[in-house]
Amino acid sequence: MPRLTDARKELRRTQIAEAAVRCFSRNGLKRTSIADITAESGLSAGSIYAHYRNKADLVQAAARETLDKRDGTISEYAAADAPPSPDELLSRLIAAIDPAEARVGVQTWGESTTDPAIRDIVADTTDRMRAMVHDCVTAWLVKVEHHDPPHAREFATPIAHQVMALYQAELLYTALRTPAEETPS
Amino acid sequence: MPRLTDARKELRRTQIAEAAVRCFSRNGLKRTSIADITAESGLSAGSIYAHYRNKADLVQAAARETLDKRDGTISEYAAADAPPSPDELLSRLIAAIDPAEARVGVQTWGESTTDPAIRDIVADTTDRMRAMVHDCVTAWLVKVEHHDPPHAREFATPIAHQVMALYQAELLYTALRTPAEETPS
DNA sequence: GTCTATACGAAGATAGAC
DNA sequence: GTCTATCTTCGTATAGAC
């Protein structure tokens, strides 16, 4: 197993994907051409197609990267001795929003309405994040509010739903509020 | 003033826009070609360009049509003797969601991140709808809960914000839940 | 105003050298 | 693996007849 080689390959892939995310953030999923990504990444078209089958494949990678980025922190909150309240959790989630990622995230929502592969990615990442929020709210109910665990899990469900909705709305408003930079055409 | 002629012109415009919305709902904003819209509308490319300057113009018309459709009913609620509670209002808004329009709406959000004209349309329609929700919640506070009007308007603001967020989240979930029909390619 | 036919440009993807 | 150069397809928009 050439593990080191695989690692280098993966590094290039993320390098390309990150350049793509920057382009998408400025110009959108469809208006971004391969030429834009070559300019942003410093690589060539041939090189990009050596790492991604086609543009759709690259868009999927960018979507995963953008949508997954939020996941790390929430699980830490749930494990804390004094988990944050739902209001506090929401505040922290909103504070962590990056405008560029918000734009790509909302673009991804739009794409998910017609592209099944993107749809699955959005559904998966949304479900995973909701589960984490649910865990965090449950932990707060148990550890701070002293509910008993079985009741807490049930009680947490509509609260997690609300937190997610308010977070996603804020994502949309951030994307609307902070326009992309002018295209340097 | 050829008022009748103008009315016919406007009729054709909406005929074209409605065909466009159906195409967008299936295939998305960018993957829909003018040829698709000619097929759906029964008109020709030349005819379409006689009514819309270009595709972007047509997309804007479709966005307005889709996003405005929700507006009519809410103002009636606010004027009622017993305005609906926020929960009831939200239920009615959600019940009125049409999956096809939800998809185009979410696509419009995505487009708004990079297209200033679409951004303005989304921002305007969102603000208008939020204002109507705010009026409705205020009316409920005054007429049903017997708050005094000045206090009610202020108290209604965060509630309206929540109703909007939950509604928009439901719009997104509807778009995710109901995939577009297969493209009959 | 509506049609058919087409010009023009753009972008995805590949070939082949290094 | 990476590059340059190019092929090919597709879609917007227009021209010109009716």
pLDDT tens-digit map of B114-169: 999 999 999 999 999 999 999 999 999 999 999 999 999 999 999 999 999 999 99
Q: What is the DSSP letter of B31?
A: T
Question: Cα(B71)–Cα(B105) distance, rounded to whole angstroms?
Answer: 14
Total count of residues recorded for chain A? 185
Would residue B80 be called left, alpha or beta, if left means φ above 0 and alpha means ψ between -120 and 50 degrees?
beta
More confident residue, B24 or A3: B24
Mutation target for B interface from A90, A97, A113: give the one with most B CBs within 10 A: A113
What pLDDT shows up at residue A1? 54
A164 contacts A133 by C-beta, under 8 angstroms: yes
The Cα–Cα gap between A38 and A129 comes to: 32
B127 touches chain A (CB under 8 A): no
Q: Within an 8 Å CB–CB cutoff, is residue B113 touching chain A?
A: yes
- Please report, rounded to whole angstroms, the spatial distance between the CA atom of protein residue B185 and the C1' atom of nucleotide D4: 35
Q: Which residue is nearest to nucleotide C2 (CA to C1')?
A: B47
Buried b (16+ CB within 10 A) or exposed e, B150-185: eebbeebeebbbbbbbbbbbbbbbbbbeeebeeeee
CATH, range B3-65: 1.10.10.60
The Å distance, CA of B35 to C1' of C8, is: 17
Domain residue spans in chain B? 3-65, 67-177
What pLDDT is stored for residue B2 in this prediction? 59
- Distances in whole angstroms, Cα of residue B26 to Cα of each of A107, A159, B45: 17, 33, 20
Check A172 against B109: CB less than 8 A apart. yes
Predicted pLDDT of residue B78 = 94
Residue B3 has a pLDDT of 66
Contacts of B111 (CB under 8 A, 6+ apart): A28, A110, B29, B59, B63, B118
3-state secondary structure chain A: CCHHHHHHHHHHHHHHHHHHHHHHHHHCCCCCCHHHHHHHHCCCHHHHHHHCCCHHHHHHHHHHHHHHCCHHHHHHHHHCCCCCCHHHHHHHHHHCCCHHHHHHHHHHHHHHCCCHHHHHHHHHHHHHHHHHHHHHHHHHHHHCCCCCHHHHHHHHHHHHHHHHHHHHHHHHHHHHHCCCCCCCC
| Residue of A114, A173, A176 to mutate when probing chain B, most B C-beta within 10 A | A114
Please state which CATH number belongs to domain A3-63. Answer: 1.10.10.60
Query: Hey, is B179 helix, strand or coil?
Result: coil
B contacts of A179 (beta carbons < 8 Å): 116, 119
| A chain contacts of residue B164, beta-carbon cutoff 8 Å | 169
Verify if strand D has an atom below 7 Å from the CB of B130: no
What pLDDT is attached to residue A6?
A: 82
What local confidence, expressed as pLDDT, does residue B185 receive?
Answer: 46
Amino acid A73: pLDDT: 85
Q: Contact, A178 vs A99, CB < 8 A?
A: yes
pLDDT classification of B11: cutoffs 50, 70, 90? very high
pLDDT of residue A66: 94
Which of A176, A54, A30 has its CA nearest to residue B164? Answer: A176
Taking only the tens place, the pLDDT of each residue in B44-88 is 999 999 999 999 999 999 999 999 887 778 989 999 999 999 999
Q: How far apart are CA A115 and CA B110, in angstroms?
A: 14
Profile chain A (185 residues) by mean pLDDT over runs of 10 residues: 76 97 98 98 98 98 92 88 97 96 98 98 97 98 98 98 98 95 60
Tokens of B158: 């965060």
- Give contacts of B180 with chain A, Cβ < 8 Å: 113-114
Structure tokens given for A157 = 């469900």
How many whole angstroms separate alpha carbon A101 and alpha carbon A21? 8
- Subunit contact B114:A180, Cβ cutoff 8 A: yes
Report how far residue A87's alpha carbon sits from residue A101's, in angstroms, rounded to the nearest whole number: 23
Q: What percent of chain B has pLDDT over 70?
A: 96
Q: CA B18, B185, B25 angle in degrees (round to 5)?
A: 30
Q: Which positions of chain C lie under 7 Å from any protein Cβ? A: 1-6, 10-16
Q: What is the pLDDT of residue B132?
A: 96
Nearest CA in chain B to A158: B166
Chain A partners of B110 at a C-beta cutoff of 8 Å? 28-29, 106-111
At A2 the pLDDT is 58
Q: Which of B113, B162, B175 comes nearest A175 by C-beta?
A: B113
> pLDDT at position A132, please?
97
